Structure 1
């Protein structure tokens, strides 16, 4: 009997191991201070967008977001406001939809175009169809924010990772604007006092193997 239970236990561990291996590990991706890779992804206007092509930018606010997550929808107006405030200061927003459309059909490119038009997005909204960029960055939630700063050699240094603020549901009751505080300190040439926070949102819909 004990032998049978042991075999069942080992089998269960093997299954759990396979399930864990099937999804990206939580500790993969960038940390603050790392150099981020560039990418070329399709925008909702049909054009390919690459960060290095924006010669005027001093850096970027990269957000992994989508059409379907309630948290992402709740933050749309705030992301629009971030673009309005920081693009003139050299830090435009670049939004990336990481979700696999077979798992989340409403995150299709056509639906992205529709949502961008409805909300009048003033920033690039790109599709990471292969999810390679999402995995490289280590994004796990929507929304998941990254602040990048251009270096003298045009590389992109990760300066902040995490949440926009501390209240997804009630923007009027936000107490801590994590992302804005980090950007304001960065732009002022100060050391960022809080460079990482926990991203709050829906889990990314990964391709099924």
Structure 2
């Protein structure tokens, strides 16, 4: 079932975290933060919405990193119910796709809850002071990639954040599979 996250709460401060990455390192928010902003993405291995755009996510992450935006992806799905999202499979995907950003495992789901992550993909774009400036979609893609040449909403928003410190007033929410929460 498709889930849509809430609209951007401008200025909301990024919750701190330290999580293990598929690169064998532990990564804190301060390690990821870029001088011009930070992009935290909640993704996973199995979601058709993520799989439809993973190459675009990688492309945009590389270009944003060149602009001084720090980037990381977090998988918080319950691997017991969704084994494709296990840490081992995350490591394989990060290597196969040559992720240019840390791919972090939120096994306890505490970080996803602190961020209010709703779906995969869910994008949180912060300014240089870690104030939220973007909570929108990558582009017009859904379970299938939108046509080439489609407006790059996330990229354009984060470019604007890098240049001005502010995200766009108008944002279209992301859409994707729900986070797979552990049973209470």
2:148 matched to 1:170? no
Q: Shift in Å at residue 129 of structure 1?
A: 0.7
Per the alignment, residue 203 of structure 1 pairs with 178
1:183 to 1:80, Cα distance in 2 relative to 1, 3 A: same
Max Rg structure: 1
1:191 to 1:107, Cα distance in 2 relative to 1, 3 A: closer
The runs of at least 4 consecutive aligned structure 1 residues that moved more than 4 Å come to 26-30
2:38 matched to 1:38? no
2:62 matched to 1:84? yes
Assess if the C-alpha contact under 8 Å between 2:72 and 2:103 holds in 1. yes
Worse-superposed segment, 181-190 or 124-133: 181-190
- Residue number among 45, 68, 71 corresponding to 1:67 in the alignment: 45
Per the alignment, residue 134 of structure 2 pairs with 160
1:44-96: per-residue Cα shift (whole Å, max 9, x none)? Answer: 01210012134753321111000000111112101111121010211132000
List gaps (5 residues or longer) in structure 1: 1-25
Assess if the C-alpha contact under 8 Å between 1:167 and 1:173 holds in 2. no
| RMSD of aligned alpha carbons | 2.3
Per the alignment, residue 9 of structure 1 pairs with none
- Residue number among 176, 179, 190 corresponding to 2:154 in the alignment: 179
What are the residue-to-residue correspondences of 1:112-151 with 2, within 5 Å? 112-151=90-129
Structure 2 CA distance, aligned partners of 1:71 and 1:128? 20
Secondary structure of 2:131's aligned partner: strand
Per the alignment, residue 163 of structure 2 pairs with 188
Secondary structure of 1:36's aligned partner: coil
Identify which of structures 1 and 2 has the higher relative contact order when contacts are C-alpha pairs closer than 8 Å and 6+ apart. 2
List gaps (5 residues or longer) in structure 2: none
1:187 to 1:30, Cα distance in 2 relative to 1, 3 A: closer
Worse-superposed segment, 105-114 or 47-56: 47-56
Assess if the C-alpha contact under 8 Å between 1:103 and 1:206 holds in 2. no
Which structure is higher in helix share? 1
Secondary structure of 1:162's aligned partner: coil
1:86-122: per-residue Cα shift (whole Å, max 9, x none)? Answer: 1021113200001011121111100101111111111
